[in-house]
Structure 1
Amino acid sequence: MQMVLKDDKTKLVTISDIIFNTSFNEGLIHQVITAYSNASRQGSKAQKNRSEVSGSGRKPWRQKGTGRARVGSIRSPIWRSGGVTFAAKPRNYCQKVNKKMYKGALKSIFSELIRTNRLVVFKDFYIDMPKTRMLIKKLNSIEFKEALILTSNLNKNLYLASRNLHKVCVQEIRYINPVSLITFKQIVCTVQSIKKIEEMLT
């Protein structure tokens, strides 16, 4: 499979059919994205039940004869400052996803990005200085308002220039994830990035 370079339309780049021309597996992608999103949850919410709140275990008053409702502890959930009935505890939301499933989902996403013309390849994509206006000018030249720029190695100028742009993100290939890939309307790759992706997903 071949793609035309965005910055040099006279040249073609060959990409792997195994990675960039697979069928769209909606169920697998949904499962992987759900697992990825759940793994980012803190799960640190904690409450105290009646055995954990501070307070005496003594019965406040005798069972009968006072005219008041019977009660056995001031730590009862129906009392102010009492425990919580079904207290929340720290929880791990991580779901197990096999490496083969994760790679399969990324392959399916990349293939769909190419089919929908959302992924473009450049021979080189860089700016000379870490200036936001220079990056905006470069993106405007290719009529992109928002983009995820994938680089094989950390490009300091691109990274610094993109920090002020809400809809532009620069990521190294080793940090790519399914959520970022489906969030941005356009994905910008270089030839070197494509080779790194093929190495990672082979």
Structure 2
Amino acid sequence: MTTELNVLNTKFEKSGSLKANVDFSVEAINGTVVHQVVKATLAGRRQGTAATKTKALVSGGGKKPFKQKGTGNARQGSTRSPLMPGGGTVFGPQPRSYEQKVNKKMMLVAISSVLADKHQAGKLHIVEKFESTGKTKDMFKALSSRNLLPALVITAEVNEQVSRAVSNLEKAKYAPVDGFSVYEAVKFENLVIEKAAFEKLIGRLV
């Protein structure tokens, strides 16, 4: 299925169109897969460094706290026992990885679904080429004048000028297409993407 998309010039005004051999219909949106990929992305960002000391790791406890018999108390062999104050922790958190596996097919379905959703909502904006002075105020003026904020700005290659101009915007984020994130695309209302970057992204889907 072919989808026709508008292409904007450097002033974010319509200057042409682009045909993509990808289904961007409502039926092509798979919210379940997008949700799963977003969850996996957020899980992968967790540090997983929480740790508690078990009985074996707590220092001290070499001496038997009191004699075995005659005290009326339960017998104890170490002050580091989880039953004693200052003892080890039972079943406490240990360092672990929260990373969730996302296979290639699932990721491509998620990318396609996000693009389809943005297109259906009128929030997918393809720009012929980004021309930036590197100044935040110029980028803010250009994006806000066309009501394109909040926005995720994507270029085909790493663009230091665009990156510098977007980095200080509260409601925008920059990334080259190789670093395209489904989570970031969902997070920001508008997806403003360079034509070459869009074609590169579409190339992964067909």
TM-score normalised to the size of structure 1? 0.90
Q: Give aligned-pair identity as a percent.
A: 32
Aligned-residue CA RMSD (Å): 1.8
Number of residue pairs matched by the alignment: 200
- CA offset at residue 30 of structure 1? 1.5
- Matched with 2:118 is 113
Give 1:64's aligned amino acid.
K
- Matched with 1:103 is 108
Q: Distance in 1 between matches of 2:6 and 2:68?
A: 85
Distance 1:59 1:154, change over 3 A: same
- CA offset at residue 53 of structure 1? 0.9
- Matched with 1:6 is 8
- Matched with 1:42 is 47
In the TM superposition, structure 1's runs of 4+ consecutive aligned residues that sit over 3 Å from their partners are 66-70
Does residue 37 of structure 2 align to residue 32 of structure 1? yes
| Greater Cα offset, 66-75 or 151-160 | 66-75
Q: Distance in 1 between matches of 2:127 and 2:180?
A: 18
In structure 2, runs of 5+ residues without a counterpart are: none
TM-score normalised to the size of structure 2? 0.88
In structure 1, runs of 5+ residues without a counterpart are: none
Partners of 1:33 and 1:179 within 8 A in 2 = yes
Cα displacement string for residues 130-154 of structure 1 (whole angstroms, at most 9, x for unaligned residues): 1111111111221223211110011
Cα displacement string for residues 176-198 of structure 1 (whole angstroms, at most 9, x for unaligned residues): 11100100011101211111111
| Greater Cα offset, 64-73 or 82-91 | 64-73
SS at match of 1:130: coil
Alignment of 1:12-161 (within 5 A): 12-18=17-23, 20-21=24-25, 23-66=28-71, 70-127=75-132, 129-161=133-165
| Greater Cα offset, 174-183 or 43-52 | 43-52
Partners of 1:131 and 1:161 within 8 A in 2 = yes
